[in-house]
C-alpha cells in the first residue's frame, strides 16, 4: 500500500492453553485510540472467531505476512485497564500459565463474549467551521463523515462513527483541516459523598484495635503489608471498616476479599449499613451484566468499596487505596484448576504494584503469612482480647476410645447438649462428613462399598437412600445384600451429618435440629433462611460441616461439639495438621461470642497427641509457632518453595512413562545448569485412581523462589514442546496448597 512505511503486527493473546501469542495484521479500520496493547479484538482462529487481547505491537512476525490473517473487529474504544493487564501478566508469568487463558479467566463473561464496555469517559466528535463541498471535494469519505457530524450538533461517540463505517484516519484528517474537534466527556462522575462517609457511627475501639488502626494510618500511602492476627471474635472486622473509612475519606478505593462462604448477606449488610457510599459486591449470585457493571464501577472509580471472593482480586481499580484479605488462611483463596492462583498472594503483588497498604486478617494465620510477620517482612498487628470479654473457650478433649457412641456422640457430649438446651442456649455440632455414614460394610465378610472409578469408599446417604462417591460424584443404589457373600447383615460404618441429625431427633424429639451441609443447602437461599432462624435465638441444635465453622457470628451458641478431631493429625499431607488446627480453632470460636461464655468439647481417639494438646491448652497461635519450627527443621514451606507437576491419564502406563520422562529431562537440565532446584518423583498421587484416571506427581522444591521459577518454566516449555505429552493431561501448580 503506498504511503505506508511499516506494517504493524499485532501480537494477540487468545484463550488457548498454549503459552504464546498469535500474530495478526491490523484491520483496515484503525481504532480511534490507535492500535494499543489492551484492546480486545475479534480474530479468526482456526475455523472459529475468538475474542483476544492485543498484548504487543511489533513490526515483524516470524511468519511471512502472506500467512497472517487480519483482525476482524476491534471491540474496545480504549484499552482495558492498565492495572488489570499488569496483574494478568504477572499472574500468567508467576503461575506459568497461558496469558491468553489468564486474561480470559480474569475478565467478566460479557467481555469474554465480545460485548462492548461503556467505559468511564467517552470521546465525542463534533463538526467545526464551515466545510464546503470544495474543501472536501477530493476526499469523498471525509465529506460524508463531515456531513454526518453536522447532523449531530451534540457530538457523536467514536463507536457510532466506526459503526457508520468511518475510521480514525478520516477523523484525524478532518481534525487537521480544523473541520472536526473531539471532546472527552465523563460518563459516570465518581459519586464523592458530601458530608460524612458513615451511615452509622463506627464503634469506639478498644486499646488493641486502636493500636492496630494507628499503625495502619501511619502508612496509608505506600506498600505496607500487615498481618492482623486476632483471636476469633476480637473485632478484626471493625478494624477493616475503620481502615476503609480512612481510605474512602481520601477518595480512594478499598478492595475487600472474603472467603467463599464468608460473603453472606449478613457480611454485606454489615459493610453496607456502615457506609453512605455504595458497597459493590462480586459474588456467584450476580448475572453477567451485573458483574460487568461492578467491573466498570470499580474501573471508573465510581465504586469506593468493592467486596468479593477469590476472583475479585482481578477487579480493576481506578483509584486504589487499600486491599483487605479477611481470613487470609482460607483455602478458598486458592484456585484448584486452570490458572491455579492464590488470591492472597496476588493481593500481595498487587498492593506492591499500587504502593498501597495490604491488611490480611485471621485468627488462624497461614504459616506462610505468620512466618512473614514474625520475620519482619509484614507488620505484625495483634488482637488478643474479645470486646465481649469472654475469652475463646478452651478445647476440652474427650476420649473416643472404648466408649459407646450414639450418632457419633459420646455420653458426655450428649449430657452437655441437653443441659445447654435446657439453659435456653444453642448447640453447634461440627462433623466434617456429609451423608449418613462414611461407608457401608458387610458384617459377615468385611466387604466395603467401594467406588468403581476411584481408590475410595462410597458414602452412604439416606436422604435420598443411595451410595455416592464424594470424589467423582458417581452414584449407586443401595444393595439389599452383600455383593460378595450375599449376607443381609450390611451396616453403616461411622457417622456423617445425616446420622447425627437422625440420632439427635430421636434423643431430643422436642428440639429443632438444623442440618447444614452441601446436601441440605443445595437450594438457593436455604442456608440464609436457616441462619436467620438461628439468629432469632430459640434453643436448637445445628449439625453441620465446615460451612458452619467459619466466619459466622452465632451469638446464641454456647456449646460446640467436634465429633472427630483426628482427620488432620496423622495425614500424609504436611499441611493437613495446619488446616485441621485452623478449622478446629475457627469452629471453637463460634462458641460464647456474645453475652455468655462458651464450652467446646472435642472428641478424639488421640487425647494424648501433643499437637492437639497444645491447641487445646494454648490455642492456635502457640501451635502455629511450634509447627513453624517443625517446618523449619524439615525444610518444608514456608522454608522452601514448591511446584507440583500433575500428570494424569486413563492409561496408567502412559501417565507413568510421561512422568518419568519429564522428571528425567528436568534432572538432566538441572545438572547442566546451576539452578538450585530439586526434583522428586514421580510418585503416585495420594488417591492414585480418580474417576478412572491415574494421577502422578513430580515435585520441584527449592530453597529460594528465584531458583524454583526457572526450573518450573523450563519444565513447562519442555512439556509443551513434547508431542508425547499431548497424550496425557498435565498441569503445573506453583505453591500447591495440597498434595492431592
Residues within the interface to ligand ATP (CB under 6 A): 203-206, 209, 230, 232-238, 363, 387, 551, 553, 589
The answer, yes or no, to whether the previous bond of 168 is cis (omega within 30 of 0) is no
Helix (H, G, I), strand (E, B) or coil at 610: helix
Task: Catalog residues that contact Zn ion under the rule CB under 5 A.
Answer: 451, 453-454, 469, 471-472
Distance CA 101, CA 112 (A): 11
If contact means CB under 5 to 8 A according to the sort of partner, which of Zn ion, ligand ATP, none does residue 122 touch?
none
| Closest separation in Å from C-beta 367 to ligand ATP | 18
Residues in the chain: 740
If contact means CB under 5 to 8 A according to the sort of partner, which of ligand ATP, Zn ion, none does residue 503 touch?
none
| Pair 644, 700: CB distance under 8 Å | yes
Q: Is 454 annotated as belonging to a binding site?
A: yes
User: Residue 365 corresponds to which cell in the numbers above?
Assistant: 494465620
If contact means CB under 5 to 8 A according to the sort of partner, which of ligand ATP, Zn ion, none does residue 123 touch?
none
| Closest separation in Å from C-beta 648 to Zn ion | 14
Q: Which is nearer to ligand ATP, 26 or 308 (CB)?
A: 308
Q: Which is nearer to ligand ATP, 131 or 551 (CB)?
A: 551
Backbone angles phi, psi at 2, to 5 degrees: -65, 145
Q: Is 445 annotated as belonging to a binding site?
A: yes
Q: Which is nearer to Zn ion, 354 or 471 (CB)?
A: 471
Q: Is 88 annotated as belonging to a binding site?
A: no
Q: Is 442 annotated as belonging to a binding site?
A: yes
Kindly tell me the burial class for residue 362, based on how many C-beta atoms sit within 10 Å of its own C-beta (0-12, 13-18, 19 or more): buried
CA dihedral 23, 25, 30, 35 (to 10 degrees): 30
Cα angle for residues 294, 298, 304 (degrees, 5° grid)? 110
Q: Is 469 annotated as belonging to a binding site?
A: yes
Q: Which is nearer to ligand ATP, 357 or 392 (CB)?
A: 392
Residue 299: C-alpha distances to residues 103, 117, 345 (Å): 16, 11, 21
Q: Report how far apart the first and last C-alpha atoms of the chain are (Å, whole number).
A: 58
Residue identified by cell 465525542 is 124
If contact means CB under 5 to 8 A according to the sort of partner, which of Zn ion, ligand ATP, none does residue 471 touch?
Zn ion
| Closest separation in Å from C-beta 299 to ligand ATP | 29
| Closest separation in Å from C-beta 267 to ligand ATP | 9
The neighbour count for residue 202, using CB atoms within 10 Å, is 12
| Pair 642, 708: CB distance under 8 Å | yes
Q: Which is nearer to ligand ATP, 261 or 657 (CB)?
A: 261
| Closest separation in Å from C-beta 694 to Zn ion | 14
Distance CA 177, CA 172 (A): 9
If contact means CB under 5 to 8 A according to the sort of partner, which of ligand ATP, Zn ion, none does residue 454 touch?
Zn ion
The answer, yes or no, to whether the previous bond of 206 is cis (omega within 30 of 0) is no
| Closest separation in Å from C-beta 458 to Zn ion | 7
Q: Which is nearer to Zn ion, 39 or 449 (CB)?
A: 449
| Closest separation in Å from C-beta 555 to ligand ATP | 7
Q: Which is nearer to ligand ATP, 235 or 407 (CB)?
A: 235
Q: Which is nearer to ligand ATP, 205 or 220 (CB)?
A: 205
Q: Which residue is nearest to ligand ATP, using beta carbons?
A: 235
Q: Is 482 annotated as belonging to a binding site?
A: yes
Q: Which is nearer to Zn ion, 456 or 683 (CB)?
A: 456
If contact means CB under 5 to 8 A according to the sort of partner, which of ligand ATP, Zn ion, none does residue 232 touch?
ligand ATP
If contact means CB under 5 to 8 A according to the sort of partner, which of ligand ATP, Zn ion, none does residue 363 touch?
ligand ATP
| Closest separation in Å from C-beta 323 to ligand ATP | 17
Distance CA 277, CA 197 (A): 6
| Closest separation in Å from C-beta 393 to ligand ATP | 13
If contact means CB under 5 to 8 A according to the sort of partner, which of ligand ATP, Zn ion, none does residue 589 touch?
ligand ATP
* DSSP string for 500-521: HHHHHHHH-TTSEEEEESTTTT
Closest CA to 582 of 256, 310, 332: 332
Q: Which is nearer to ligand ATP, 230 or 301 (CB)?
A: 230
Q: What is the 3-state secondary structure of 95-133?
A: CCCCHHHHHHHHCCHHHHCCCCCCCCEEEEEEECCCCCC
Residue identified by cell 460473603 is 263
If contact means CB under 5 to 8 A according to the sort of partner, which of ligand ATP, Zn ion, none does residue 298 touch?
none
Indicate the pairing of strand 305-308 with strand 253-257: parallel
If contact means CB under 5 to 8 A according to the sort of partner, which of Zn ion, ligand ATP, none does residue 469 touch?
Zn ion
| Closest separation in Å from C-beta 561 to ligand ATP | 19
Which residues contact residue 710 at a Cβ distance below 8 angstroms, ignoring those fewer than 6 apart? Answer: 673, 675, 677
Distance CA 682, CA 644 (A): 10
Please enumerate, by residue number, every residue annotated as part of a binding site for Zn(2+): 442, 445, 451, 454, 469, 472, 482, 485
Please enumerate, by residue number, every residue annotated as part of a binding site: 442, 445, 451, 454, 469, 472, 482, 485
Amino acid at each position: 500500500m503506498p504511503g505506508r512505511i511499516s506494517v504493524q503486527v499485532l501480537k494477540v493473546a487468545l484463550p488457548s492453553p498454549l503459552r504464546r501469542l498469535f500474530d495478526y495484521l491490523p484491520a483496515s479500520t484503525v481504532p480511534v485510540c490507535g492500535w494499543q496493547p489492551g484492546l480486545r479484538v475479534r480474530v479468526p482462529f482456526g475455523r472459529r472467531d475468538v475474542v483476544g487481547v492485543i498484548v504487543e505491537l511489533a513490526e515483524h512476525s516470524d511468519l511471512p505476512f502472506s500467512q497472517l490473517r487480519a483482525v476482524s473487529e476491534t471491540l474496545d474504544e480504549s484499552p482495558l485497564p492498565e492495572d488489570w493487564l499488569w496483574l494478568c501478566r504477572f499472574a500468567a508469568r508467576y503461575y506459568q500459565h497461558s496469558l491468553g487463558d489468564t486474561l480470559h479467566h480474569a475478565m467478566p463473561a460479557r467481555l469474554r463474549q465480545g460485548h462492548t464496555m461503556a467505559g468511564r469517559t467517552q470521546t465525542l466528535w463534533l463538526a467545526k467551521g464551515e466545510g464546503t463541498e470544495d474543501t472536501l471535494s477530493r476526499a469523498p469519505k471525509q465529506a460524508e463523515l463531515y456531513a454526518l457530524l453536522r447532523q449531530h450538533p451534540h457530538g457523536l461517540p467514536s463507536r457510532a462513527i466506526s459503526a457508520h463505517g468511518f475510521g480514525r484516519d478520516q477523523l484525524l484528517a478532518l481534525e487537521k483541516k480544523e473541520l472536526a474537534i473531539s471532546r472527552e466527556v465523563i460518563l459516570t462522575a465518581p459519586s464523592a459523598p458530601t458530608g460524612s462517609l458513615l451511615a452509622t457511627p463506627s464503634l469506639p475501639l478498644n486499646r488493641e484495635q486502636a493500636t492496630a488502626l494507628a499503625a495502619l494510618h501511619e502508612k496509608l500511602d505506600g506498600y505496607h503489608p500487615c498481618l492482623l492476627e486476632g483471636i476469633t471474635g476480637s473485632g478484626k472486622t471493625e478494624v477493616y471498616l475503620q481502615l476503609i473509612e480512612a481510605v474512602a475519606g481520601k477518595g480512594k478505593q478499598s478492595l475487600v476479599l472474603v472467603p467463599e462462604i464468608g460473603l453472606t448477606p449478613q457480611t454485606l449488610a454489615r459493610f453496607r449499613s456502615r457506609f453512605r457510599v455504595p458497597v459493590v459486591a462480586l459474588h456467584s449470585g450476580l448475572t453477567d451484566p451485573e458483574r460487568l457493571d461492578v467491573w466498570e464501577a470499580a474501573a471508573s472509580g465510581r465504586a469506593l468499596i468493592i467486596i468479593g471472593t477469590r476472583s475479585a482480586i482481578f477487579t480493576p481499580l481506578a483509584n486504589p487505596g487499600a486491599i483487605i484479605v479477611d481470613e487470609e488462611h482460607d483455602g478458598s483463596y486458592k484456585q484448584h484448576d486452570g490458572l491455579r492462583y492464590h488470591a492472597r498472594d496476588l493481593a500481595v503483588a498487587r498492593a506492591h504494584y499500587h504502593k498501597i497498604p495490604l491488611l490480611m486478617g485471621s485468627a488462624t494465620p497461614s504459616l506462610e503469612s505468620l512466618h512473614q510477620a514474625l520475620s519482619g517482612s509484614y507488620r505484625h498487628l495483634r488482637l488478643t482480647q474479645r470486646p465481649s470479654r469472654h475469652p475463646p473457650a478452651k478445647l476440652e478433649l474427650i476420649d473416643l476410645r472404648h466408649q459407646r457412641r450414639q450418632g457419633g456422640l459420646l455420653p458426655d457430649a450428649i449430657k452437655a447438649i441437653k443441659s445447654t438446651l435446657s439453659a435456653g442456649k444453642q448447640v453447634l455440632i461440627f462433623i466434617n462428613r456429609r451423608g449418613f455414614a462414611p461407608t457401608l460394610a458387610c458384617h459377615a465378610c468385611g466387604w466395603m462399598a467401594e467406588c468403581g472409578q476411584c481408590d475410595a469408599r462410597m458414602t452412604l446417604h439416606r436422604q435420598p437412600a443411595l451410595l455416592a462417591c464424594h470424589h467423582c460424584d458417581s452414584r449407586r443404589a443401595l444393595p439389599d445384600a452383600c455383593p460378595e457373600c450375599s449376607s443381609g447383615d450390611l451396616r453403616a460404618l461411622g457417622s456423617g451429618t445425616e446420622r447425627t441429625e437422625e440420632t439427635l431427633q430421636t434423643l431430643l424429639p422436642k428440639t429443632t435440629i438444623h442440618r447444614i451441609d452441601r446436601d441440605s443447602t443445595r437450594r438457593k437461599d436455604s442456608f440464609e433462611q436457616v441462619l436467620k432462624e438461628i439468629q432469632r435465638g430459640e434453643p436448637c441444635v445445628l449439625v453441620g460441616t465446615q460451612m458452619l465453622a467459619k466466619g459466622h457470628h452465632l451469638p446464641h451458641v454456647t456449646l460446640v461439639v467436634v465429633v472427630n478431631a483426628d482427620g488432620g493429625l496423622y495425614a500424609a499431607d504436611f499441611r493437613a495438621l495446619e488446616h485441621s488446627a485452623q478449622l478446629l480453632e475457627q469452629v471453637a470460636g463460634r462458641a460464647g461470642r456474645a453475652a455468655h461464655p462458651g464450652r467446646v468439647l472435642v472428641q478424639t481417639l488421640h487425647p494424648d497427641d501433643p499437637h492437639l494438646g497444645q491447641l487445646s491448652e494454648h490455642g492456635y497461635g502457640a501451635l502455629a509457632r511450634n509447627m513453624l519450627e517443625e517446618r523449619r527443621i524439615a525444610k518444608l514451606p514456608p522454608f522452601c518453595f514448591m511446584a507440583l507437576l500433575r500428570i494424569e491419564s486413563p492409561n496408567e502406563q502412559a501417565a507413568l512413562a510421561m512422568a518419568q520422562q519429564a522428571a528425567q529431562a528436568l534432572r538432566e537440565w538441572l545438572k547442566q545448569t546451576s539452578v538450585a532446584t530439586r526434583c522428586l518423583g514421580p510418585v503416585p498421587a495420594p488417591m492414585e485412581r480418580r474417576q478412572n484416571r491415574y494421577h502422578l506427581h513430580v515435585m520441584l522444591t527449592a530453597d529460594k523462589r528465584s531458583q524454583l521459577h526457572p526450573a518450573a518454566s523450563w519444565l513447562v516449555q519442555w512439556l509443551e514442546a513434547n508431542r508425547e505429552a499431548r497424550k496425557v493431561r498435565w498441569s503445573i501448580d506453583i505453591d500447591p496448597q495440597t498434595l492431592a
